[in-house]
Amino acid sequence: MGRIFGTDGVRGVANRDLTAELAVDLAVAAAHVLGEVGAFADQRPTAVVARDPRASGEFLEAAVVAGLASAGVDVHCLGVVPTPGAAFLTSFLEADMGVMISASHNAMPDNGIKFLARGGLKLDDQLEVLIEDRLEEPWDRPTGAGVGRIGDSHAGVAAYVKHLVSTCPRPLDGLRVVLDCANGAAYEVGPAVFEELGATVIAIHAEPDGLNINDNCGSTHLDDLQVAVVRHGADAGFAFDGDADRCLAVDETGAVVDGDHILAILALAARDAGRLTDDTVVATVMSNLGFVQALESAGISVIQTAVGDRYVLEAMRAGGFNMGGEQSGHVIMGDYATTGDGVLTAVHLAARMAESGTPLSRLASVMTRLPQVLINVPGVDKSRADTDPTLLGEVAIASSRLGDTGRVLLRQSGTEPLVRVMVEAATAEQATEVAEHLAGVVRLTLSL
């Protein structure tokens, strides 16, 4: 079938690319692969399955559960839970594997399936390749008592809420916050956590109907949150995406606080508390140069990885670091979670505001964001982006012109035939000029 796993599981238009048949096959193959590599420790395996509220998640959940049970796996259905909640409950319930059905920030027609290993960790690339290789293969089916049993574990959500509350270093009494729940998986968890911590909560886009997830709301559409924060005189606003593994913020003036700012604020807070391992943060190559400069000037080292929270997590685990994240709002706080957690991020950002008595706008001023221009160039042969001599020559010339005041990054899309051209420079005009020039070179040299 070719490579179907992307950087974050299997994703596509539900019932066209991601069908019930494929969902069953993926679940069966995952059970077989994890069993054969010893993940089940020769015992009757258990799995947790969760989803976000999009309509297609209902039939895909049924298909995944059927596939797992037919392969002899006992299944606990969690219902609608954020991705980080599914990861936490995979560990908390001591399940041998977890499955999250979500397309994250994608539009409603899309959906996705991602698998978690014991402990709530994402599967590595090698295991995903093995799962792909086992799709649709003949296999011996268990019968009788050998088939898996299916039950509900919706009460697990309360354990996840309790966990999030327990991580907060102080109450949030006196804070007024707006939460944009993206009509997604955090529509109950987000408000519940903040209310239990004592904050005054105004929740918007917290009424999922299966069709309105990420629809002009959440972390990819911040306009409504900006308006609500100003209208309600809130101290801050926090926006989650459909599966709530990312968070972006809005300060008290309505200005956007992106993932780089959030990660910088939390890294400095952890450093000040003596909790930042080796005074090091892991980020991706997409983090703004201003972020890197701000942290390094504060004595914090920045390690940069390929784009994708899984690569951030891999670098964190390899080096023993406890904090990393992405500009998009994935922040991984390794002391409390195995993956990015939007609600957790929002809670700790609010706690930093409360304990310091400092407005979010002032906290965010710790870094100055360099002008950044990103141009997507579609319909090109992205495989040659790293090798075409003409293109590489132009990139070298542009990089030399920018010097220490900017940078150039060309990145192949993981899911589409396009190349992303990103340029940072001292001025927006210079960044735009260089980005548009390089985008033209990409169109010319990599044309199909």
Tell me which residues are annotated as active site: 104
CA 442 to each of CA 5, 73, 183, 374, 393: distance values in angstroms, whole numbers, following the listed order = 26, 49, 38, 13, 12
Q: How far apart are CA 285 and CA 330, in angstroms?
A: 14
141 class by beta-carbon count within 10 Å (0-12 exposed, 13-18 middle, 19+ buried): exposed
Q: Which DSSP string corresponds to 214-246?
A: TSS-GGG--HHHHHHHHHTT-SEEEEE-TTSS-
Contact between 353 and 265 under an 8 Å Cβ cutoff? The reply is no
Q: Is the dihedral of CA 62, 63, 64, 67 positive or negative?
A: positive
* Residue 348: half-sphere exposure toward Cβ, Cα within 13 Å: 26
3-state SS of 266-283 is: HHHHHHHCCCCHHHEEEE
59 class by beta-carbon count within 10 Å (0-12 exposed, 13-18 middle, 19+ buried): middle
110 class by beta-carbon count within 10 Å (0-12 exposed, 13-18 middle, 19+ buried): buried
Edge-to-edge strand ranges of the sheet holding 236-240: 200-204, 176-180, 236-240, 247-250, 256-257
Token pair in block for residue 23: 């969902």
128 class by beta-carbon count within 10 Å (0-12 exposed, 13-18 middle, 19+ buried): buried
Greatest Cα pair distance, the chain, in angstroms, is 71
Token pair in block for residue 159: 């354990």
Contact between 340 and 240 under an 8 Å Cβ cutoff? The reply is no
Q: Is the dihedral of CA 77, 78, 81, 85 positive or negative?
A: negative
Burial 302-315 (b: 16+ CB within 10 A, else e): bbbbebbbbbbbbb
Q: How far apart are CA 159 and CA 348, in angstroms?
A: 19
